[in-house]
Amino acid sequence: MTFNFRRPDSYFAWKNKEILKRFSRYKDIIDKNKLARYIIAKSFECNFNVDASLEELEQLLKIKSKEFKNLLNEEPSQLENIEIKNKSYLELLETLAYKYLRECIFCERMCKIDRRDGKKGFCLIPEESYISSAFLHYGEESVLVPSGTIFFQGCNFSCVYCQNYDISQTWKGKKALSEVAKRINPQDLANIAEQLAKQNALNINYVGGDPIPNIHTIISSLKFQTSNICQLWNSNFYLTEKSLNLLIDIIDLWLPDFKFSNECALKYCGIPNYFEIISRNLKIIHNKGSGEIIIRHLVLPNHTECCSKPIMEYISKEVPNSAVNIMDQYRPEFKSYIYPEINQYPSSKEIKKIKEYANDLGILWEPVS
């Protein structure tokens, strides 16, 4: 790991023993001692009939996912030892993703509309994906920089305080997607990722808006990507279990948000059952996925008791191997004026209280916050 002059904290984070332990596979991919999961998925032969029923393919996915996890234990470590198969596990994931698009269930809004037939659900993203920008990001967590970040246009949330509202919401109903973002197909996305890899990105960071409505494009792009680089899922994490099943084996590093109680998520973002869904997904990636997770907790003003503390308690009990970015950069933006309690900055006293609470619970937060 070379010294990063733009972010000296990344050098010191990688000196932290717990960081090295909890993110060992990610570090091994960076150091070229291990292969990104998606490459192994491409070398894992998987014969199936694309016209098989959804249920048959989902059943096959269950079986193959177990076999894939066994394969990871004896994984080859070098690209030259890898043989890409004509019909692979990755293609099974791609096939299922495009089938789900016919009745979109990518996120828990479960719009169930046929995006392949031009219909649009809550996120207003059609079958094609759109990106607003892609660049080497030096502002992400210490261990992620420089991060090859790809911003997808559109979001399945509608947060009143959104700080990326131009990407996520304000174009909706006013402008066509093509006026505000660039349409891309899987090959285009792969080209962008490869370009970022060549610029020495440590990871390919799918974000937005949110990447969830674009799961099919992202999985499909991996067929065209060849660089041994960590795949990073940076998301509100409100995806369905079926969607998560498509990603769980091919994502190396997870960067989910976890911000609210159910009541506050409904009030500020119009999202039902937030806590249950995010905590369910966190447990799945902690126990069955790579387990290499940085949870982003944005501290909202006046939400210490209802949101921050219960979330810290949940993390310490149920996903103890994760690290937490306690984010203090909330600022009142967009429509936060509707609610006086969030139309202000969090106080330094609140931030301190949450950090102390995290310390009391034994949460690892400092190197990534």
The residues of the shown chain that bind ligand SF4, judged by CB under 6 A, are 104-107, 109-111, 121-123, 125, 156, 212-213
Closer to ligand SF4 by CB, 79 or 110: give it: 110
Taking alpha carbons only, the member of 236, 208, 360 closest to residue 298 is 236
Closer to ligand SF4 by CB, 127 or 188: give it: 127
Query: Nearest distance from residue 341's CB to ligand SF4, in Å?
Result: 27
CA-to-CA dists, residue 268 to 135, 157, 161, 277, 331, angstroms: 30, 10, 8, 17, 14
Query: Nearest distance from residue 123's CB to ligand SF4, in Å?
Result: 3
Query: Nearest distance from residue 109's CB to ligand SF4, in Å?
Result: 4
Closer to ligand SF4 by CB, 7 or 109: give it: 109
Closer to ligand SF4 by CB, 211 or 367: give it: 211
Taking alpha carbons only, the member of 211, 218, 212 closest to residue 187 is 218
Report the first-to-last Cα separation within the chain, whole angstroms.
20
CA-to-CA dists, residue 25 to 45, 66, 131, 149, angstroms: 23, 19, 29, 20
When CB distances to ligand SF4 are compared, the closest residue is 121
- Beta strands in the chain, from DSSP E residues, in sequence order: 129-137, 147-152, 182-184, 203-207, 230-235, 253-256, 294-298, 323-327
Closer to ligand SF4 by CB, 225 or 243: give it: 243
Query: Nearest distance from residue 184's CB to ligand SF4, in Å?
Result: 17
CA distance 293 to 232: 10
CA atoms within 13 A on the CB side of 99: 18
For 288, the enclosing helix (H) or strand (E) is: none
Query: Nearest distance from residue 122's CB to ligand SF4, in Å?
Result: 4
Q: Helix, strand or coil for residue 324? A: strand
Contact between residue 281 and residue 258 where contact means Cβ atoms under 8 Å apart? no
Query: Nearest distance from residue 328's CB to ligand SF4, in Å?
Result: 30
Closer to ligand SF4 by CB, 116 or 283: give it: 116
Query: Nearest distance from residue 79's CB to ligand SF4, in Å?
Result: 33
Tokens read off for 157: 């949330």
Tokens read off for 244: 């998560």
Closer to ligand SF4 by CB, 13 or 107: give it: 107
Query: Nearest distance from residue 222's CB to ligand SF4, in Å?
Result: 19
CA distance 266 to 238: 13
Query: Nearest distance from residue 274's CB to ligand SF4, in Å?
Result: 14
Closer to ligand SF4 by CB, 222 or 239: give it: 239
CA distance 349 to 360: 16
Query: Nearest distance from residue 121's CB to ligand SF4, in Å?
Result: 3
Contact between residue 128 and residue 101 where contact means Cβ atoms under 8 Å apart? no
Closer to ligand SF4 by CB, 71 or 113: give it: 113
CA distance 315 to 84: 38
CA distance 282 to 262: 16
The residues near 111 (Cβ < 8 Å, ≥ 6 apart) are 104, 121, 122
Closer to ligand SF4 by CB, 122 or 130: give it: 122
